[in-house]
Amino acid sequence: MMNVQTVPATVRWQPAAAHPVLKHGADEHWSTLREIQDLLRYDGHLQAGSEAELFQRRRLKAGQSALVMGQPFDGLYVVRLGTLKTLITNVDGGVHVLGFPMKGSLIGFDGIYQNTYMSEVVALTDCDLIRVPASELFATGRSGNHLERMAYWASSHEIIQEQEAYSLTRSVKSEVRVARFLHTMSQRFEDMGWSPNRFILPMTRRDIGHHLSVTVETVSRAFSALVQQGIIEVEFREIRILERDALCHFER
Predicted confidence (pLDDT) per residue in 134-188, tens digit: 887 766 555 446 676 667 666 666 666 665 666 655 657 888 999 999 999 999 9
Please write the tens of the pLDDT for every residue from 222-246. 999 999 999 999 999 999 999 999 9
pLDDT above 80 for 202: yes
pLDDT band of 112, cuts 50, 70, 90:
confident
Question: Domains of the chain (ranges plus CATH)?
Answer: 30-137 (2.60.120.10), 170-248 (1.10.10.10)
Work out the pLDDT band at 44, boundaries 50, 70, 90.
confident
CB-based contact 120:71 (threshold 8 Å): no
| Averaged confidence pLDDT in the chain | 81
* Alpha-carbon span 53 to 96, nearest angstrom: 37
Q: What is the pTM of this model?
A: 0.79
> Pick the residue with more confidence: 141 or 54?
54
